[in-house]
Amino acid sequence: MRIVVTGGAGFVGSHLTARLLEEGHEIVCIDNFMTSSEQTVEPFKAHPRWELIQHDIIDPVFLEGVDQLYNLACPAAPGHYQYNPVRTIKTSVQGVINMLGMARANGCRILQASTSEVYGNPTVTPQSESYHGNVNPIGRRACYDEGKRAAETLFFDYRREHDMDIRVARIFNTYGPHMHPFDGRVVSNFIRQAIAGDDITIFSDGSQTRSFCYVSDLVDGLVRLMNVEDFTGPVNLGNPEERTILELAEIILELTGSRSSLTTRPLPPDDPVRRCPDITLAREQLGWDPTVGIREGLEETIAYFQGLDFSEWTPPTPYWEAPPQD
């Protein structure tokens, strides 16, 4: 098949691309490198079935002969999506309209990378797909959360109006090699800090929870969702093992053998207190269950980070050093 992967130069997109190339497909990557580095796609450049279109999906683009479209383009780390919030929401609204238009013209199936952030700061746990969420519509996370919610709305309205073949995955925190070392996400921050011997920055007291899914498990879920018949989702894809942020820090210190100390920082506004997916639907409809445990996944990720020269990457200003924004 000829498959378009938007955001194909990003963390998840690069792993999805590798998997689809392995399966023998032809991949067209659409990416503007807003949050990724050319380094990530270097291994694909010589591949005869991989093509790059450097383009912002907010602007119209049209390709013919497309069989499937995975729409992953969107800044995903809080520091990245809050850097230019208007651009973030435009990506999930105007960009998504452009991608739905391309899929409609091609008559092809399209999958949206949605997020657990559609549940906001949830009042129920674990979160199942029937929960409608608790999002602050005017907070600093809203450009991402409300953007992704609007994207889901557009997907289902295009289906109702134009009978489109859609798929919506609600992705929970995913980690692995190819994460940007300075994206500010918790796994990349803690591993980088542990390797460098810097303090591990625990926001608040670290009692907030997340559920961490290894990237190969997520990619497997996305491919299953794209290829299953008669099922649109939305469906949660995540690892249901819930952990506190403090627990994560302790595991990373142990696996790296680091002597870094823990230091605390204020909790960013609207940071969800608990997050854990109910994956019953994914189990039933996709026969999907994560298989990679946290230690195994972190060991792979640590090995990748140990091979990076952090001085080659530009660190952004951490939010606690930036001028007050609220």
Residue 23: which of 44, 40, 1, 51 has the closest Cα? 1
Closer CB to ligand NAD, 258 or 292, in the complex? 292
* Annotated active-site residue in 144, 158, 175, 214: 144
- Written as six digits, the tokens of 78 are 């809080």
Give which of ligand NAD, ligand UDP, none residue 34 binds (C-beta under 5 to 8 Å, depending on kind): ligand NAD
Answer with the entry of ligand UDP, ligand NAD, none that 245 interacts with (C-beta below 5 to 8 A by kind): ligand UDP
Q: Report the C-alpha gap between 115 and 119 in whole angstroms.
A: 8
- The span from the CA of 146 to the CA of 133, in Å, is 11
**Which residue's CB is nearer to ligand UDP, number 75 or number 166?**
75
- Per partner kind, with CB cut-offs from 5 to 8 A, the member of ligand UDP, ligand NAD, none near residue 21 is none
| CA-wise closest residue to 177 among 319, 52, 292, 21 | 292
Does residue 81 carry a catalytic annotation?
no
Q: Name beta bridge partners: 62.
A: none
Between 73 and 200, name the residue whose CB sits nearer to ligand NAD.
Answer: 73
- Closest approach, Cβ 265 to ligand NAD, in A, equals 21
Minimum distance of ligand UDP from residue 266's CB (angstroms): 9
Closest C-alpha to 54, from 80, 69, 33, 75: 33
Angstrom distance (rounded) from CA 171 to CA 153: 16
Q: Regarding beta strands 213-214 and 200-203, do their DSSP bridges make them parallel or antiparallel, or are they unpaired?
A: unpaired
Q: Which residues, other chains included, contact 247 with Cβ-Cβ below 8 Å and sequence gap of 6+?
A: none
Binding site for ligand NAD (CB under 6 A): 6-7, 9-13, 30-36, 56-58, 72-76, 80, 91, 95, 113, 115, 171, 173-174
Nearer to ligand UDP, 103 or 135 (CB): 135
Interface with ligand UDP by CB under 6 A: which residues?
Answer: 77-78, 173, 185-186, 189, 201-203, 208, 210, 245, 267-268, 271
Selection from ligand NAD, ligand UDP, none that 113 binds (CB < 5 to 8 A by kind) is ligand NAD
Q: What crossing angle do the helices spanning 245-256 and 294-306 adopt, rounded to 10°?
A: 60
List, by residue number, the catalytic residues.
144
